[in-house]
Amino acid sequence: MTLIEWKDEFSVGVPSVDHEHRELVKLINDGFRNFQEKDSGFRVDDFLGEIFAKISSHFALEEKVMRNHKYDQIAEHKEDHERLLDDIRDMMDVYENQGYFNEKELADHLAAWFTGHFKKHDARLHGKLGL
Amino acid sequence: MTEKRNFIGQIIAYLFFAGFLGVLSNYPTYSHTTADQATIKLTMNHSGKLKEKCRQRSEEEMAKLPPNMRVSMDCPRERSPIKLEMIVDGKEIYKETLLPFGLTRDGEATAYRRFNIKAGEHRVQVRMKDDVNTEGYDYHFEQTLTLAPSQVMVIHFDNLLGKFVAI
Amino acid sequence: MIIRSTQKLGMKLFEVVESRFSTAFGESWNPFYNLGALSFFFFWIVAASGVYLYAFFDTSITSAYTSVESITNNHFYIGGIIRGLHRYASDAMVVTMTIHLFREFLMGRFRGARWFSWLTGVPLLWLVFASGINGYWLVWDQLAQYIAILTAEWFDWLPFFSAPMAQNFLNEASLSDRFFSLLAFLHIGIPLTLLLMMWVHIQRMAKAKSNPPRGLALGTLAALIILSIAKPAVSQAPANLDRAVTDVQLDWFFLNLYPLLDTVSPGDLWGLVGFITLLIAVVPWILPKGKYSIATVNLENCNGCERCFIDCPYDAVTMQPRTDGMSFSHEAVVRTNLCVGCGICVGACPTATPFRRQTQLVAGIELAEFPLKNLRNEVLQASETLSGTDRVMAFACSECGKDKLARQPGVAVVPLPCIAMLPPSFIDFVISKRLADGVFLTGCETANCYHRYGSQWTEERIEGKRDPQLRKRVPRERVARLWTSAVNGGRVQQEIKQFRSRLRDVGPMRDDYASMKQSLSFVSSETGGNIHDTD
């Protein structure tokens, strides 16, 4: 089962950004599949750490694109980025210190965030970039 | 984060800096010469005599040369170095051999020297030799000069007159 | 070695004096941290005042002196002050340039790729002196006469001239207008060449500071104006080549070597000056270089986000079109001949986070001989030496940090080439994983960073003003920083002690997991509800 279904509206029109969106979706889906198949190599903290790093660098790239195109809502969009990174860190800390990991919660959260952020910010960015 | 500043401290620093600039830009006064000294400047721009005379080239020598260079007279361009001396009140204060200017040493030899001496009367002699093929000096200058304090006197070699002149 | 200990002593002296000035001026206005910028500022004052003076200056030998007198005296409060600014700003430039030279030498800021900045500064010494000496010549007063004769005699030692230049100044009869016009012309040409070389000198520095902070600039300008009124720049008696110069007021900033010509020959003076110049020029190559590691890019982890490019203080990182076929438009490329191994790029990279799996901890850009894996291990090992409720993990820049911190039980020190090499994520890592109770960062003063911007950018990353930001959720009471120079070792000790006592008061980390969990599930259910909304 794929956690996040790729939708065309996830495209922003910038090849590098879209590529990373696809890679992130794949990373998340693969991670969940490994978890569900009880893959002995899968560790939640490593998985989350990798997502954290990849999402951080992805946001850095998006922010560069926004800067280059003088996007007018760069501050709001960036605020949302920072929020998600905080949420991921929260998840990591909760797992680390409580051993608590509810994969359904994580799944819902990521999926909701992905689609929510996309709908609100990335779609608008796509429109403004005019690509 | 507003920085803490002390404006009195700054004013003191600026005063110190301005004072430092103002003082060192003007003082201490430097004594280049004293009031009882005068200056003699010795100068010369002169071509030494040619070191070797012109001579006729022989038939064999002509044949060895490329066709466009076959000139019968061979005149080497190198000039003699010039020996210049100045004696004041019997004491030799300057002696130099000056080389002609240029890679082939065929230009003028130049001399310039400045001397600080006490003001007053002095017997000044200048001797110049500009020919390696002769013995002794070729040009002589001797005069009793009276120098006022801080006066600048120039002894230069006048090529037209063919002698040293003091002005 | 002798050089090492002179350097250390000299640095100490500078730091003592500089900290006094920092108290009065504040760090950012401290003239010692703005010597290059002040030199530029003085150049502009000299240039601007020079334009005015030149407009009214008469380049003929007969009227040069009177034209200068006219400028100075007819409207003293314009022309006279401008002339004063022209002279005193030139003197000031000699001062700041000289102190700058000593400072950069003592602080070793010529190592590695910084040889370029050092070497390109050497011609500036000659050009500044030439400009000033040339300028004094134009006044055609007693001082100018002195300068003219001695400079000509000095240059005549060089084999280029077919006739001695000094023959232009034999007596009044030998003076020519044409030569004088040449000097006036040179007084534009040489300063222009100086400006060009000044531009070259700041080339291999990103965001070079060539303007001092406004407060410092205004204060300095005011001081120069007041000086120009209090001690006007005036000409001495007119030149007269028929009379020898006796007493003359020298500008010792520019003319300090001239009196030597009364005792040593021109050739000897060339030897002295040539030797000093050569000695200064070869400094980067004869002094020990020190070890440093060049930055390398790992394309697998680089998506061309440009953070390293933006942060590199030496313009050693460029962005180039992608070469590995990935759909990213650009990649970071390190210009190895410009890299000094400060590691600031590593601190800027978003993939440089220790939360990643150990096997995957390779950042987009790393220092080849000091990889993040090692830093992470060092941090983990350092943590194991700590115990108690006030454990401090200290990160220090090795330029002026490491030696300041004596190892106390309860404090572990991790040295870095520059404090800004530390990715903010590491601070998050240490605190959230309870590796220490607090993180202490120390490095050079923000306005005096050995690597120019390291301390400032670390500060900005923590305050959330610069990417990558330290996550806001990291409790700031557990992050302390002190930007200070090496002479303040005692203050570092004090700050750590106080930090530890604050940590004891705050108590061990206690996350509110219940509310964290709640907010996570709350968010997911909320957005889950909205997922079908059309926005």
The model's pLDDT over A27-44, given as tens digits with 9 standing for 90+, comes to 888 888 887 777 666 777
- Give the three-class secondary structure for C438: strand
Name the helix (H) or strand (E) containing B62: helix B59-64
pLDDT tens digits for C89-118?
999 999 999 999 999 998 889 988 899 999
Interface check B118 vs C, CB under 8 A:
no
pTM: 0.85
Interface check A72 vs C, CB under 8 A:
no
On the 0-12 / 13-18 / 19+ scale of CB atoms within 10 A, C336 is: exposed
Q: What is the domain-level CATH number for residue A35? A: 1.20.120.50
Give the Cα separation of C292 and C340 in Å (integer).
Answer: 7
User: Is residue A3 in some structural domain?
Assistant: no
Give the Cα separation of C324 and C331 in Å (integer).
Answer: 9
Instruction: Please provide residue B49's backbone torsions phi and psi, each rounded to the nearest 5 degrees.
Output: -70, 155
* Residue A93: pLDDT over 90: no
Measured in angstroms, the CA of C354 and the nearest CA of chain A are apart by: 8
- CB atoms inside a 10 Å sphere around CB A114: 21
The structure tokens listed for A105 are 């919660």
Domain C295-509 has CATH 3.80.30.20: no
Interface check A97 vs C, CB under 8 A:
yes
Interface check B122 vs C, CB under 8 A:
no
Asked if chain B contacts chain A via 3 or more Cβ pairs within 8 Å, the reply is no
Give the Cα separation of A126 and A13 in Å (integer).
Answer: 6
* Residue A96: pLDDT over 90: no
Cβ contact, residue pair B114, C166, below 8 Å: yes
Pick the closest to residue C500 from C421, C387, C370 (CA basis).
Answer: C387
The answer to whether the CB of C228 falls within 8 A of the CB of C80 is yes
Measured in angstroms, the CA of C317 and the nearest CA of chain B are apart by: 31
Pick the closest to residue C236 from A15, B135, B26, A82 (CA basis).
Answer: B26
Give the Cα separation of C38 and C219 in Å (integer).
Answer: 12
Closest Cα in chain A to C358 = A46
Window 141-170 of C, Cβ < 8 Å to B: 146, 149, 153, 156, 162-164, 166-167, 170
Domain ranges of chain C: 34-238+250-286, 295-509
Q: Residue A86's domain spans which residues?
A: 15-129
Window 114-133 of C, Cβ < 8 Å to B: none
On the 0-12 / 13-18 / 19+ scale of CB atoms within 10 A, B135 is: exposed
Of C162, C245, C251, the CB nearest to B25: C251
Lowest-confidence region among A42-51, B109-118, C150-159: A42-51
The answer to whether the CB of C359 falls within 8 A of the CB of C378 is no
pLDDT tens digits for A60-72?
999 999 999 899 8
Cβ contact, residue pair C520, A112, below 8 Å: no
Name the helix (H) or strand (E) containing C297: strand C295-297
Higher pLDDT, C513 or B141: B141
Interface check A54 vs C, CB under 8 A:
yes
User: Is residue A21 in some structural domain?
Assistant: yes
**Complex confidence, ipTM:** 0.91
Cβ contact, residue pair A112, C523, below 8 Å: yes
C517 contact residues in A (CB cutoff 8 A): 94, 100
Domain ranges of chain B: 37-51+79-166
Measured in angstroms, the CA of A85 and the nearest CA of chain C are apart by: 8
The answer to whether the CB of C435 falls within 8 A of the CB of C380 is yes
Cβ contact, residue pair B3, C166, below 8 Å: no
Half-sphere exposure of C71 (CA within 13 A, CB side): 26
Closest Cα in chain C to A124 = C535
Q: Residues 6 or more apart from C13 whose CB is under 8 A from it?
A: none
User: Is residue A119 in some structural domain?
Assistant: yes
Cβ contact, residue pair C535, A46, below 8 Å: no
Cβ contact, residue pair C242, B152, below 8 Å: yes
The answer to whether the CB of B139 falls within 8 A of the CB of B157 is yes
- Give the three-class secondary structure for B41: strand
Strand C365-367 with C295-297, pairing: antiparallel
- Share above pLDDT 70 across residues of chain B, in percent, rounded to a whole number: 99
The answer to whether the CB of C497 falls within 8 A of the CB of C504 is no
Measured in angstroms, the CA of C1 and the nearest CA of chain A are apart by: 46
Of C351, C428, C516, the CB nearest to A94: C516
Q: What share of chain C is helix, strand, coil (3-state, %, to 5)?
A: 60, 10, 35
Measured in angstroms, the CA of A112 and the nearest CA of chain C are apart by: 6
In this prediction, residue C357 carries a pLDDT of: 81
Name the helix (H) or strand (E) containing B128: strand B120-129
Largest CA distance in chain A: 46
A66 contact residues in C (CB cutoff 8 A): none
Pick the closest to residue C143 from B115, B18, B38, B29 (CA basis).
Answer: B29
User: Is residue A8 in some structural domain?
Assistant: no
Pick the closest to residue C254 from C157, C156, C100, C147 (CA basis).
Answer: C147
Measured in angstroms, the CA of A42 and the nearest CA of chain C are apart by: 11
Asked if chain C contacts chain B via 3 or more Cβ pairs within 8 Å, the reply is yes
Contact residues, chain C to chain A, C-beta under 8 Å: 301, 303-307, 326-329, 349-351, 353, 355-357, 360, 364, 428, 432-433, 467-469, 471-473, 511, 513, 516-517, 519-521, 523-525, 527-528, 530-531, 535
Give the Cα separation of C259 and B33 in Å (integer).
Answer: 11
Cβ contact, residue pair A109, C328, below 8 Å: no
The answer to whether the CB of A52 falls within 8 A of the CB of A89 is yes
The answer to whether the CB of C84 falls within 8 A of the CB of C235 is no
The answer to whether the CB of C365 falls within 8 A of the CB of C318 is no
Cβ contact, residue pair C247, B116, below 8 Å: no
Give the 3-state secondary structure of C180-198: HHHHHHHHHHHHHHHHHHH
The structure tokens listed for C75 are 């409207």
Name the helix (H) or strand (E) containing C102: helix C81-106
Of C327, C350, C364, the CB nearest to A15: C327
pLDDT tens digits for C283-308?
999 988 777 889 999 999 999 999 99
Interface check C222 vs B, CB under 8 A:
yes
C511 contact residues in A (CB cutoff 8 A): 93, 97
The answer to whether the CB of C310 falls within 8 A of the CB of C348 is yes
On the 0-12 / 13-18 / 19+ scale of CB atoms within 10 A, C278 is: exposed
C224 contact residues in B (CB cutoff 8 A): 18, 21
Torsion of CA C136, C138, C139, C141, to 10 degrees: 80
In this prediction, residue C4 carries a pLDDT of: 76
Give the Cα separation of C478 and C500 in Å (integer).
Answer: 9
Q: What is the mean pLDDT of residues B141-158?
A: 95
C interface mutation test: which of A11, A64, A67, A85 has the most C CBs within 10 A?
A64
In this prediction, residue C528 carries a pLDDT of: 39
Rounded alpha-carbon distances, angstroms, from residue B67 to A108, B59, B76, C167: 102, 13, 19, 45
How many angstroms from the chain centroid is the CA of residue C146? 37
The structure tokens listed for B122 are 């002095």
In this prediction, residue C116 carries a pLDDT of: 95
Residue B138 — pLDDT band, cuts 50, 70, 90?
very high
The answer to whether the CB of C280 falls within 8 A of the CB of B54 is no
The structure tokens listed for C272 are 């002295």
Chains that touch A (3 or more CB pairs under 8 A): C
How would you write the pLDDT of chain C (535 residues) with one tens digit per residue? 777 788 888 888 888 899 889 899 998 899 999 999 999 999 999 999 999 999 999 988 889 999 999 999 998 899 999 999 999 999 999 999 999 999 999 888 998 889 999 999 999 999 999 999 999 999 999 999 999 999 999 999 998 888 899 999 999 988 888 888 899 999 999 999 999 999 999 998 888 999 999 999 999 999 999 999 999 999 999 999 999 999 999 999 999 999 999 999 999 999 999 999 999 999 999 988 777 889 999 999 999 999 999 999 999 999 999 999 888 999 999 999 899 999 999 999 999 999 998 777 899 999 998 999 999 999 999 999 898 889 999 999 887 666 667 667 789 999 999 999 999 999 999 999 999 999 999 988 888 899 999 999 999 999 999 999 999 989 999 999 999 877 677 788 889 999 999 999 988 887 666 666 666 665 444 443 333 333 3
User: Is residue A110 in some structural domain?
Assistant: yes
Which DSSP letter does residue C140 get? -
Which DSSP letter does residue C448 get? G
Give the Cα separation of C441 and C431 in Å (integer).
Answer: 13
Cβ contact, residue pair C520, A15, below 8 Å: no
- Number of domains forming the structure of chain A: 1
Of A56, A112, A113, the CB nearest to C350: A56
- Give the three-class secondary structure for C521: helix
Which DSSP letter does residue C470 get? P
How many angstroms from the chain centroid is the CA of residue A109? 10
* Fold (CATH) for C34-238+250-286: Cytochrome Bc1 Complex; Chain C (1.20.810)
User: Is residue A2 in some structural domain?
Assistant: no
Backbone Cα Rg of chain C: 30
Interface check C66 vs B, CB under 8 A:
no
Cβ contact, residue pair C244, B39, below 8 Å: yes
Measured in angstroms, the CA of C245 and the nearest CA of chain B are apart by: 6
In this prediction, residue C387 carries a pLDDT of: 87
Cβ contact, residue pair A46, C357, below 8 Å: yes
Q: Which residue has the tokens 């982890």?
A: C301
How many angstroms from the chain centroid is the CA of residue C514? 50
Q: Which residue has the tokens 């990279």?
A: C349
In this prediction, residue A91 carries a pLDDT of: 82
The answer to whether the CB of C396 falls within 8 A of the CB of C415 is yes
Give the Cα separation of C232 and C228 in Å (integer).
Answer: 5
Interface check C265 vs B, CB under 8 A:
no
Chains that touch C (3 or more CB pairs under 8 A): A, B
Give the Cα separation of C142 and C248 in Å (integer).
Answer: 7
Which DSSP letter does residue B4 get? P
Instruction: Please provide residue C401's backbone torsions phi and psi, each rounded to the nearest 5 degrees.
Output: -115, -55
Cβ contact, residue pair C25, B5, below 8 Å: yes
Q: What is the CATH number of domain B37-51+79-166?
A: 2.60.40
User: Is residue A6 in some structural domain?
Assistant: no
